[in-house]
Each structure stands twice: as C-alpha cells, then as structure tokens.
Amino acid sequence: MTWNVYLSGEIHTDWRARIEDGAAAAGLDIAFTGPVTDHAASDDCGAAILGEPAERFWHDHLGAGVNAIRTRTLLEQADVVVVRFGDQYRQWNAAFDAGQASALGKALVTLHPPEHDHALKEVDRAALAVAREPEQVVGILRYVVAGELVKRAGA
C-alpha cells in the first residue's frame, strides 16, 4: 500500500525536501502532498484567476478559498499529517491544519524546535509524535511504513 503523507506548515526552509529525499533514499512507498509552496502564487492565486477585488481583505479571502480547494482535499486524503512550525511568521494556518487533522482522526506528527514547546502544547498533545528534525520524521515514516527501526546517531 502507498501511504499518503501531507506536509503542512512552514514554506521557507527545505524541510519538505529533506523528508521527501530521506523517504526516497529509504525506498518507502509514500506519496507526499502539501500546499502550493510558492509564496507569491499562494497569496495571489484567488485574485489572479477570479479578478482583483477592491479591498485587500477580499484579496486574501479569494486566495484562501482557492488554496483550500487543494489543501482540504489533500489533507482529508492523507493517512499521516506532518505539521512544521518554524521561527518566522505566526503560522496560524499550520495550527489550523493541525486542528483539522486532529478532528478528522488523522495520525498527526508535529515538527518544531523546543522553544515552541509551551506555546504548542495543545497541538503537541493531539499529536502521536513530536519531532525536532526532518530526519526524525523520516525515521518515524521508515518505522511506520516499512517496520525498520534505525536508531539515531548518538541516541
């Protein structure tokens, strides 16, 4: 069986590529999905396709609607949802995705540095694993999908 893993959250670092590359190197049968990660396209897609409204609020509203067609659909089809919280921006959409994933009964994995532990405690409590590095997510997927446990160097 092919596992569907949705990668939600931060779009400004290479964490998605590190997970996808690691999974590929391990030969895991996983189909990764996620939002459109081109920031400008993600912001402007609604107005660019449907027409520019007079007010900025509705510009965002149009874009969020078009993006939701993609993100809700893929999130609902996922077996595992990984949500990354980075250092920049408020990333409320990442927490929003985590809330959806939790209510839908998805296996949730969070990925963030320890300094966000307190602020993310409600989200982490709903997760089945809290990782610090993308390679740990690869380790989880390798164990979960293929039954292979490779201990971390130094662990």
Residues 94-123 touching a copy of itself, rule: CB under 8 A, are 94-105, 107, 109, 114, 116-123
Distance between start and end Cα atoms, the chain = 30
| Side chain identity at residue 31, one-letter code | A
Per DSSP, the chain holds a count of helices (H) and strands (E) of 6, 5
Q: What does the alpha-carbon distance between residue 82 and residue 110 come to, in Å, rounded to a whole number?
A: 6
Q: Which of residues 44-63 bind a copy of itself (CB under 8 A)?
A: 44-58, 60-63
Greatest C-alpha distance within the chain = 56
Nearer to a copy of itself, 26 or 102 (CB): 102
Least Cβ distance, residue 133 to a copy of itself (angstroms): 10
Q: Which of residues 62-81 bind a copy of itself (CB under 8 A)?
A: 62-73, 76-77, 79-80
Q: What does the alpha-carbon distance between residue 55 and residue 3 come to, in Å, rounded to a whole number?
A: 41
Least Cβ distance, residue 25 to a copy of itself (angstroms): 16
153 part of the interface to a copy of itself, by CB under 8 A? no
Q: Tokens 């993600």 — which residue?
A: 42
Q: Which of residues 6-35 bind a copy of itself (CB under 8 A)?
A: 31, 33
Nearer to a copy of itself, 14 or 61 (CB): 61
